[in-house]
A and B are shown apart, each in its own frame.
Chain A
């Protein structure tokens, strides 16, 4: 073989070795912890991203305002801020507003103005409407009608922080080390088909539902048109946005458990369905008929989170990586196992889940390895 280092890359066009990086950590006992470990872990996968997007979601973030909707809003102009604040005061009881604290970070350039608002749904809401539905409608209204403003986080006692930069730079910029939560997800972005801009960074959020994603949703157009029928409007110019609205529709509005939702988003292949017992076959066929437009096509690994639950899911033929680690009550999900081991070297168990099979951490049930995954578990010293 040739001594490659002598002739390596004479054109100075280093191959892009990027992919997105995703990471999630949850204490299923509900204990809150600092983001230091999560930031180290996502930074360890620095090379998977290219600095055009980084972000975090934190649950159990605002215990002092736990019953209020926390809106995080990006503004591109002072006028946008004034207009949206007038709108918020008209539509909600505004309890508290403040600029999200930031610190100068050399690599973060030209950031938008980012504010947070703690809101209560008041008498402005039509009586027959649910609070959550009212909030979703107002988020859509701001994101479609106010040109210089984006609501990018809208749940209770949780928050999303994101922007253009590597995730560790975004963490530094938003001073995330000082926050605590019982569930953190993180993302380093390598944009493929759509622009790297502040709103397009992950996680995507509606109410307390968040999604971080590695891959690409080639069914974006179909998914988006389907979701529009239910009042969801895609404004962030990125495929992943549909996943956040899909889980809000399926899990909150239609009250489906993740085991069923996984069969909608990552439906089993027809050849697999044909071999199922009759009852299950009927269920799978029904899901494909009713929710066919929410099938996510293309390669993906996502970490979906909402209060009390963190879910890892890949496409059915696992075209993007996902690895799982468990230690006591802690559950970790990651693109790479090394990022988990860096912050928790002595895992009880580490395994690679099968494509289309959700991995779920829940506050309601103690953590246990699914029986189906047992043969994928390794114990290393």
Chain B
């Protein structure tokens, strides 16, 4: 006997008003396990960890303000937020995508190990702190606006792009790349050397850099309705770690 399984194609809508985060995330898990492909969450006000532990390529669209650690440990889903994200967005995420039509708070993409995050506007402190990579797992964080201090702090891998589309002149962030020992930051515009961590080098973009950047800016522009060519016309610089093993000598003797 042949068993056929119907997979719900339609969008499932949930009114999240007053639903505690554990219950909300349990419902999302159940829906994803039952094969739901598209879920819309309305009236989201601060529920934490949305998208964690779904482990399937489900599309979750959020209207409102999701709580801290949106997409923490995420593995596969695509989350789109029509609103601002709070702190800890993409905490240790492994795979999937987060697209924020607004701004994000502190430590976005902290310890991310894979997946992509696109933010239309600006981000708070310590964006991309300790992102890391291994072989083909390379997290990506693209920020349309600017960032506050400690961008890419202790960065160990992955790619961070800062576009500054909402401002003129130099970014104001200080301590950029402090403790950086892996990965790369592409920054549209320029930055003074005092704004950089001691571990950071500045270079022109090479051919491989330009290809990667064009692809990421293309995706960013498609998400938020920008013209990628216009964005790419502007000068970019590349920030990279001067050493991949800054403390190696300490342990040698």
Instruction: List residues of chain A with CB under 8 Å of any chain B CB.
Output: 1, 3-5, 17, 44-45, 47, 271-272, 275, 317-318, 321, 323, 336-339, 341-342, 350-352, 354-355, 375-376, 378, 380-381
Chain B interface mostly = loop
Closest to B95 in A: A1
Across-interface contacts of A337 in B (CB, < 8 A):
65, 84, 86, 105
| Top-6 shortest CB links A-B | A338-B46, A338-B65, A378-B103, A380-B102, A342-B45, A338-B45
User: What are 29 A-B residue pairs whose CB atoms fall within 8 Å in the complex?
Assistant: A1-B55, A1-B94, A3-B53, A3-B55, A44-B46, A317-B150, A318-B125, A318-B149, A321-B86, A321-B105, A336-B46, A336-B65, A336-B86, A337-B84, A338-B64, A338-B67, A338-B86, A342-B45, A350-B84, A352-B124, A354-B148, A355-B149, A376-B103, A376-B122, A376-B145, A378-B120, A380-B82, A380-B83, A380-B84
**Please, how many angstroms separate the alpha-carbon atoms of A36 and B94 in the complex?**
41
A375-B166 in contact (CB<8A): yes
With A318-B125, A376-B122, A380-B101 already in contact, 20 other A-B pairs whose C-beta atoms are closer than 8 Å: A4-B73, A17-B48, A47-B21, A275-B194, A318-B148, A318-B149, A321-B124, A323-B105, A336-B46, A336-B65, A336-B67, A337-B86, A338-B64, A338-B67, A339-B45, A352-B122, A375-B122, A375-B145, A375-B146, A378-B122
The answer to the question of B106 belonging to the interface, with a C-beta cut-off of 8 Å to chain A, is yes
Among B66, B103, B105, B125, residue most surrounded by chain A Cβ atoms (within 10 Å): B103
Across-interface contacts of B101 in A (CB, < 8 A):
380
B128 nearest CB across to chain A (Å): 16
**Please, how many angstroms separate the alpha-carbon atoms of A352 and B146 in the complex?**
12
**Please, how many angstroms separate the alpha-carbon atoms of A271 and B175 in the complex?**
11
Across-interface contacts of B120 in A (CB, < 8 A):
378
Given known contacts A47-B48, A375-B146, is B65 in contact with A341 (CB within 8 Å)?
Answer: yes
**Please, how many angstroms separate the alpha-carbon atoms of A323 and B65 in the complex?**
13
Across-interface contacts of A380 in B (CB, < 8 A):
82-84, 101-102
Q: CB-defined interface of B162-199 with A at 8 Å, one 1/0 digit per residue?
A: 00001100001010000000000000000000100000
Q: CB-defined interface of B44-58 with A at 8 Å, one 1/0 digit per residue?
A: 111010000101000
**Please, how many angstroms separate the alpha-carbon atoms of A68 and B62 in the complex?**
50
B67 nearest CB across to chain A (Å): 6
The answer to the question of B68 belonging to the interface, with a C-beta cut-off of 8 Å to chain A, is yes
Closest to B174 in A: A272
**Please, how many angstroms separate the alpha-carbon atoms of A376 and B144 in the complex?**
11
A378-B121 in contact (CB<8A): yes
**Please, how many angstroms separate the alpha-carbon atoms of A342 and B67 in the complex?**
12
Across-interface contacts of B55 in A (CB, < 8 A):
1, 3
B105-A5 in contact (CB<8A): no
A322 nearest CB across to chain B (Å): 10
**Please, how many angstroms separate the alpha-carbon atoms of A231 and B82 in the complex?**
52
Closest to B26 in A: A5
The answer to the question of B75 belonging to the interface, with a C-beta cut-off of 8 Å to chain A, is yes
Across-interface contacts of A4 in B (CB, < 8 A):
53, 73
Given known contacts A378-B103, A380-B83, is B45 in contact with A44 (CB within 8 Å)?
Answer: yes
Across-interface contacts of B21 in A (CB, < 8 A):
47
B194-A271 in contact (CB<8A): yes
A336-B146 in contact (CB<8A): no
Instruction: List residues of chain B with CB under 8 Å of any chain A CB.
Output: 21, 29, 44-46, 48, 53, 55, 64-68, 73, 75, 82-84, 86-87, 94, 101-103, 105-106, 120-122, 124-125, 145-146, 148-150, 166-167, 172, 174, 194
B105-A352 in contact (CB<8A): yes
A40 nearest CB across to chain B (Å): 10
Across-interface contacts of A375 in B (CB, < 8 A):
122, 145-146, 166-167, 172
A324 nearest CB across to chain B (Å): 12
B49 nearest CB across to chain A (Å): 9
B106-A318 in contact (CB<8A): yes
Given known contacts A17-B48, A323-B105, A355-B125, is B68 in contact with A336 (CB within 8 Å)?
Answer: yes
A266 nearest CB across to chain B (Å): 13
| A318 touches which of B44, B66, B124 (Cβ 8 Å) | B124
**Please, how many angstroms separate the alpha-carbon atoms of A354 and B124 in the complex?**
8
Among A350, A351, A376, residue most surrounded by chain B Cβ atoms (within 10 Å): A376
A381 nearest CB across to chain B (Å): 7
**Please, how many angstroms separate the alpha-carbon atoms of A41 and B124 in the complex?**
22
Closest to B107 in A: A321
Across-interface contacts of B73 in A (CB, < 8 A):
1, 4
B76 nearest CB across to chain A (Å): 9
Among B65, B67, B149, residue most surrounded by chain A Cβ atoms (within 10 Å): B65
Across-interface contacts of A355 in B (CB, < 8 A):
125, 148-149
**Please, how many angstroms separate the alpha-carbon atoms of A355 and B148 in the complex?**
9
**Please, how many angstroms separate the alpha-carbon atoms of A375 and B55 in the complex?**
35
| A378 touches which of B87, B102, B167, B172 (Cβ 8 Å) | B102
A341-B45 in contact (CB<8A): yes
**Please, how many angstroms separate the alpha-carbon atoms of A354 and B171 in the complex?**
13
